[in-house]
Structure 1
Amino acid sequence: MSIRRAGERYRGGDASAGIESLHSFSFGRFYDPDNLRFGAVIACNEERLAPGAGFDEHPHSHTEIVTWVVDGELTHRDSAGHATVVRPGDVQRLSSAGGVRHVERNDAGTPLTFVQMWLAPKEPGGEPSYEIVRGIADSTPYALPEAGAMLHVRRLAGDERTAVPDAPFVYVHVVRGVVRIDGEALGPGDAARITDADGLELTAAAPAEVLMWELSG
């Protein structure tokens, strides 16, 4: 198990445009050949957008993009005709496949924070697709077969325990609160990269929200 702390993330964004970005993997001009991916996960970005700020239309291809809103509302529009507002508790997935363009903005009057995770698909190409699951229930896994992955969203009370999936790779990102895995404490923005997970548990030291990716080999 490798622990990556929130403060170790690469800082990006554009402060003058109201955008702050925190990158857990190599991203854009921040290149680290030893931190390109973990399993299928190739990016885990925490984005903070001031009211009115956002990312103008830009392209994606051959990437599975999953977004989790922490606070605020995210406005999404894409070239396939989808226009949605993503709120806390919703899981949004954009399969960019052979190519798609989209816009992401904070059109609300309050700050927006969201976590966006990119995964490499098993096969490139195909037709883009989009899905949003409103208010996903706790412990309900979200399957991403295109990347051989499963997302587990856990909202835990203090001292509550949950199993870490037994899998070749597990990526754990703490959204809020404090949790412990195998004696290691993780706070907001911290992540654990676990190889060959077997019989591990995650315990909340206080109320917590955690995203866990179960990844095939």
Structure 2
Amino acid sequence: MTAATTPRVDVRRADDRLTTRIAWLDSKHSFSFGQHYDPDNTHHGVLLVNNDDTVSPGQGFDTHPHRDMEIVTWVLRGSLVHQDSMGHAGVIYPGLAQRMSAGTGILHSEKNDAWRLSGADSPEHSDPVRFIQMWVLPDESGVAPGYEQLEIEDELLRGGLVTVASGMRKHRGQSAIGINNSGAALSVARMRPGDTVTLPESPYLHLFVAEGAVDLEGAGRLTEGDAVRFTATGGQRLTAADDEAAEVLVWEMHTRLGG
């Protein structure tokens, strides 16, 4: 892994993302994923996947394997049921931070069928679930699989950038959940109209506008689904539009994949 050198601010628009659409899934990929492969768009820093998924009720991803990857899931609307081969089962919803470390190997499923956990008499709901799933390369392969989650709704309501997932020394005791990468951290901000946050300075930074619209200092208006890849820069001010709230996801990374 090498350090960034040349400053760059690379804006990627929502409509330029690769897309997978089937009967129950609308998935938009910020990077190469599945059958969509672009050798010039495989990662930024150590972030390999930033999928914007909407899953229909009663549907979802059947049990499938992962290995040697830190997988962070952030739900924006609705609820997502997680089940894995380590015996974890639960519902992920907005304001709940969740991380799965695939390590030496893990099987899991993700479905929009939370009512099934409540018993046969629970009414089915008709709401889709929208979530962002992010994959980060771990520091080392072959670690033991793991799972962690924590409710952080109260912290988000206080405003500002909230550290959701981190393996960095400076965030020990501060991040909601940990990841097995000592040079990466995910922060989230729920911004009221007109709110401003300052982006961290980092060799690699990835900003994703999950909801609403924001103005980025030096780059202008960004809307839902837009992303920005920063190299060897940071410190810019980000301001929510005057007429709507916004939610942004920010990866701070001090290493990158490859040379």
Question: Please, what TM-score do these two structures have when normalized by structure 2?
Answer: 0.80
Matched residue type, 1:142: V
Structure 2 equivalent of residue 93 of structure 1: 99
Partner SS, residue 151 of structure 1: strand
Q: 1:128 to 1:13 in 2, by over 3 A?
A: farther
Distance change in 2, residues 1:95/1:13 (3 Å): farther
Deviations 1:150-172 (A, max 9, x none): 11110111121101001111101
Counterpart in the other structure of 1:207: 245
Residue 201 of structure 2 is aligned to residue 166 of structure 1: yes
What is the root-mean-square deviation of aligned Cα atoms in Å? 1.2
Distance of 2:101 and 2:245 partners within structure 1: 32
Is residue 12 of structure 1 aligned with residue 20 of structure 2?
A: yes
- How many residue pairs match? The answer is 215
2:224 corresponds to 1:188 = yes
* Structure 2 residues not aligned, in runs of 5+: 1-8, 115-124, 168-179
Gaps of 5+ in 1: none
2:83 equivalent in structure 1: 77
Instruction: Select which of 134, 140, 150 maps to 2:162.
Output: 140
Matches within 5 A, 1:9-48: 9-15=17-23, 18-48=24-54
How far the C-alpha of 1:13 sits from its partner, in A, is 4.2
Q: Percent identity?
A: 43
SS at match of 1:97: coil
Q: Which of structures 1 and 2 has the bigger CA Rg?
A: 2
2:117 paired residue number? none
| One of 173, 176, 180 as aligned partner of 2:211 | 176
Work out whether residues 149 and 215 of structure 1, in 8 Å CA contact, stay in contact via their aligned partners in 2: yes
**Structure 1 equivalent of residue 71 of structure 2:** 65
State the distance in 2 between where 1:143 and 1:175 align.
17
